[in-house]
Amino acid sequence: MIFIIVFSVLLLDQSTKALASKNILLGQTIPVINNIFHLTLVHNKGAAFGIFKSQTALFIITSLTAIIIISYKLKARAAGRLDIFVVSLGLILAGALGNLIDRLFFGYVVDFLDFRIWPVFNIADSAITVGAILLGWSILFNKK
């Protein structure tokens, strides 16, 4: 079941990035809800919020390391039930894969979701963030 979640998030991420890249010019912003939510195409060569620009090799190595560790953890728990911990790792894995694909093929990550009070991001970034929150929750509140 977890691989369906990973695949679905990865497919959603890559397809929305492709749509944004095809229909929005680099740097162009399209208001969806004026001054609240826009679609803005950005090519991010850095990490979160654009820090560490042009460190593509470092991000690829870090992503690959995270993907290997998470895959190992998921494989070890594959026989178990689907819980918050497993879902959190699946979301982080999908996000890491989505942004890694961009870095490998383009040398940057495609971002396009723009809430104006936050740096522009994408579905993969959202999956990583939600996954990290769920992971923290499962670690803090899991009674095992």
Whole-number Å distance between alpha carbons of 123 and 125: 5
C-alpha dist (Å) from residue 118 to 17, 82, 114, 121: 18, 32, 7, 8
Per the annotation, the verdict on 114 as an active-site residue is: no
**Catalytic one of 13, 102, 111, 114:** 111
**Catalytic one of 13, 102, 114, 125:** 125
- Report the chain's terminal Cα–Cα distance, integer Å: 22
Which of the 8 DSSP states describes residue 46?
S
Per the annotation, the verdict on 13 as an active-site residue is: no
Q: Which residues are catalytic?
A: 111, 125
